[in-house]
Amino acid sequence: MGNRFVLLCLLTVTSVTHAAEHFDGRSWWDVVKILSDDKYEGRNTGSPGERGAQEYLVSQLKALGIKPAGANGYYQPVELRSRELVEANSTLVLLRDGREEPLTLGQQAFFSTRVALAPRIAAPLVFVGYGLKVPEQDDDDLAGLDLKGKIAVVFAGSPAPMAAALAAHYQSLAERWKALKAAGAVGVLSIPNPASMDIPWSRMALNRTQPSMTLVGAEFDETPGDLFAATFNPEYAETLFAGTGHTFAEIAALGKDRKPLPRFALPLSIRATTQLVTKEVHSNNVVAVIPGSDPVRKREYVVLTAHIDHLGIGEPINGDRINNGAMDNASGSAMLLEVARSLKHNHDKLKRSVLFVWVTGEEKGLLGSRYYATRPTVPTADMVADLNTDMFLPIVPLKILTVYGLAESDLGDRVTAVAARLGYRVQADPEPLRNLFIRSDQYNFIKQGVPSLAMKVGFDPGTPEEKLFKQWLTDRYHAPSDDANQPVDLTAAAGFEEVMRGLTVQVANASQRPAWKTDSFFRRFAKAAP
Ligand SMILES: [Zn+2]
């Protein structure tokens, strides 16, 4: 691949003067095809398939002469524990006026094994609206409610005046649980917001028995004391609100427009019995470095991240059970390799070092990045930025980039300038309800104070492209059809790679390291005052 790349470079340098100077999209897609091949069985965290895909990456890095920067060569071991629900031995029942209303798991609701479910629990339900406690905005959905020993029923979303990044942070598993636990709650029943569901209930339910995973170590437990977690099908949610003077239709209509929600006790309890099977799982992050050339600044690192894991083998859809994860996230993993290859070949005399981290366990709750960000192989204070790529979706021509974290640090200004030079516009997250700012690996670096951003190929609201993206989520997101047999825009991919490369070079060579904006909420996590 190295030789072919050099040839392509010579050709493109003479024939193309704008947009994708270093990339053609094709060599990227070739790597995507390899990483998403059936032989890697969907790269489930800790599986032989994931290991195989990682070995492929490592072989390429070695061939390129890019140095290892893990704990064990290119690898950083990540120890995990999986939890699998034995659904046949688990039940969920609503209790109303002394009557039992058994729920069918998968139809009306399903358990979440993200928390250590208690084998038996019965508790009254309290509807807490969005369930958000945001001191910065004097917003406390839990105020005035008696949650002692109760299960909080949460409607996913946030009220409109709240900035997307702030709303996303307080909706994270850890932050939400902190507030609920302090109020005395013992569990959470979540109702998805029908206005922001990425995939239909039927497919959510299909994935429900996949084991979940946690990092080994009490310090990594984000939900201590949480005894119950389940998701309720919005189609059946009226039953929860019967006899309250409110309807779910009313709640959903308010939630769609990000309006404030009423909060009140429900005349119901829930009773659950569960059986969990736990197992040890061994996985790895893959870490490599291109050292900087400046005697002082080479000690600082521009970190590029992408998750290599995906969902593995699941329930069959149209006869296919391998979740190949071509876009999610062979695409980002391949892009990192392509950027590494390009930087290595083109000798841009990078002043700072560039660190490449292919993290594991993203699909299980951002676990590999959390492990790396808290147990880094280079000092945290020397990580000047994290540029993360997860499912950047080059499925339409690239005109506009969506940048998560655009207003939080001067990385936003830098990427705006890089993109403009290449003829692209940038926009902030147009879909704040989807919480994308905390739904990928950059979030763990942000929590360590590292200015971060993530980008995707974007769309202008109200255009046919918007429909295409929505359709992609409905049909292919977290489904076996996210494979190499789908339409892809190689020119868009090349343009995206060019922006990522340009931003990496800018951050590596600029005299100032990136800084949080003074008004950014996330500035509080900064350890090294920039
Ligand atoms: Zn995913």
Q: What is the DSSP secondary-structure string of 54-102?
A: HHHHHHHHHHHTPEE-SSBTTEEEEEEEEEEE-GGG-EEEEEETTEEEE
Ligand 1 centroid to residue 479 C-alpha, Å: 10
- The rounded Å distance from CA 246 to ligand 1 centre is 35
DSSP H or E stretch at residue 285:
strand 276-290
Is the pLDDT score of 528 beyond 60? no
Q: Does 34 score more than 90 pLDDT?
A: yes
Question: Is 270 in a helix, a strand, or coil?
Answer: strand
pLDDT at 290 over 50: yes
Give the model confidence (pLDDT) of 388-408 as tens digits: 999 999 999 999 999 999 999
Q: Please give the radius of gyration of the chain, using alpha carbons only, rounded to the nearest integer.
A: 23
Cα gap 475→139, rounded to integer Å: 36
Segments of 291-398 assigned E as strands: 301-307, 312-317, 320-323, 353-359, 383-388
Q: H-type helices in 242-366, by residue range?
A: 248-256, 331-346
Please check the confidence at residue 20 and state whether its pLDDT lies above 80. no
Q: What confidence tier does 245 reach under pLDDT thresholds 50, 70, 90?
A: very high
CA–centroid distance, 310 to ligand 1, in Å, is 6
Q: Is 169 exposed, middle or buried (0-12, 13-18, 19+ CB in 10 A)?
A: buried
First to last CA, the chain: 40
DSSP letter, residue 513: P
For 293-328, what is each residue's pLDDT tens digit? 999 999 999 999 999 999 999 888 888 899 999 999
Q: Residues 49-62: pLDDT tens digits?
A: 999 999 999 999 99
CA of 58 to the centre of ligand 1 (A): 22
The HSE-up count of residue 325 (CA atoms within 13 Å, CB side) is 31
How far, in Å, from the CA of 313 to the mean position of ligand 1?
A: 14
Residues 6+ apart with CB under 8 A from 218: none
Reduced to 3 states, what is the DSSP secondary structure of residue 414?
helix
439 has a pLDDT exceeding 80: no
pLDDT reported for residue 163: 77
For residues 85 and 111, is the Cβ–Cβ distance under 8 A? yes
Residue 530 and residue 528: Cα distance in Å, rounded?
A: 6
How remote is the CA of residue 314 from the centroid of ligand 1, in Å? 14
Average pLDDT of the residues in 150-154: 98
Distance 441 CA to ligand 1 centre (A): 11
Does residue 13 have a pLDDT over 70? no
| Centre of ligand 1 from the C-alpha of residue 517, in Å | 29
Q: What separation in Å is there between the alpha carbon of 357 and the centre of ligand 1?
A: 17
Nearest to 228 by CA among 62, 376, 354, 117: 117
What distance in angstroms lies between residue 199's CA and the mean position of ligand 1's atoms? 11
What is the reported pLDDT for 44?
Answer: 97
Q: What angle do CA 48, 52, 57 make, to 5 degrees?
A: 150
Of 339, 365, 89, the closest CA to residue 213 belongs to: 365
Going by the DSSP 8-state scheme, the letter that residue 211 receives in this structure is P
Q: Is the dihedral of CA 95, 100, 106, 112 positive or negative?
A: positive
Q: Look over the chain and give the mean of its residue pLDDT values, rounded to a whole number.
A: 92
What confidence tier does 11 reach under pLDDT thresholds 50, 70, 90?
very low
Reduce the DSSP state of residue 386 to 3 states and report it: strand
* pTM of the model as a whole: 0.85
* Portion of the chain with pLDDT greater than 70, in percent: 95
Helices (H) and strands (E) in the chain, counts: 14, 22
Per DSSP, which regions of 310-463 are E strands? Answer: 312-317, 320-323, 353-359, 383-388, 400-404, 425-427, 452-457
User: What mean pLDDT comes out for the span 439-461?
Assistant: 93
CA-wise closest residue to 404 among 390, 424, 393: 390
Instruction: Give me the pLDDT at residue 347, please.
Output: 66
pLDDT given at position 214:
94
Give the C-alpha distances (Å, rounded to integers) separating 152 from 259, 268, 433: 20, 12, 20
Least confident of 156-170, 357-371, 438-452: 156-170
**Segment (H or E) for 215:** strand 212-215
Ligand 1 centroid to Cα of residue 396, in Å, is 20
Average pLDDT in the 105-115 region?
95
- Segment 161-188 shows an average pLDDT of 90
- Choose among 80, 111, 152: nearest CA to 276: 111
Centre of ligand 1 to C-alpha 465, Å, is: 21
Instruction: State how beta strands 320-323 and 276-290 pair.
Output: unpaired
pLDDT band at 198 (very low <50, low <70, confident <90, very high): confident
On whether the CB atoms of residues 46 and 80 are closer than 8 A, the answer is yes
* Cα–Cα distances in angstroms (integers) from residue 157 to residues 168, 188, 431, 435, in the given order: 9, 15, 11, 9
Q: Please give the Cα distance from 172 to 170 (Å, whole number).
A: 5
Q: Most confidently modeled of 29-38, 134-143, 217-226?
A: 29-38
Tell me 230's DSSP state: E
Report which of residues 100 and 316 the model is more confident about.
100
Exposed / middle / buried, residue 380 (Cβ in 10 Å: 0-12, 13-18, 19+):
middle
CA 125 – ligand 1 centroid, Å? 31
Instruction: Give residue 438's pLDDT band: very low, low, confident or very high (50, 70, 90).
Output: confident
Rounded to the nearest angstrom, the distance between the alpha carbon of 478 and the centre of ligand 1 is 6
Given a contact cutoff of 8 angstroms between Cβ atoms, the answer to whether 123 and 95 are in contact is no
Q: Is 515 exposed, middle or buried (0-12, 13-18, 19+ CB in 10 A)?
A: middle
Mean pLDDT of 186-207: 90
pLDDT of residue 15: 35
Would the CA dihedral through 421, 440, 329, 527 be positive or negative?
positive
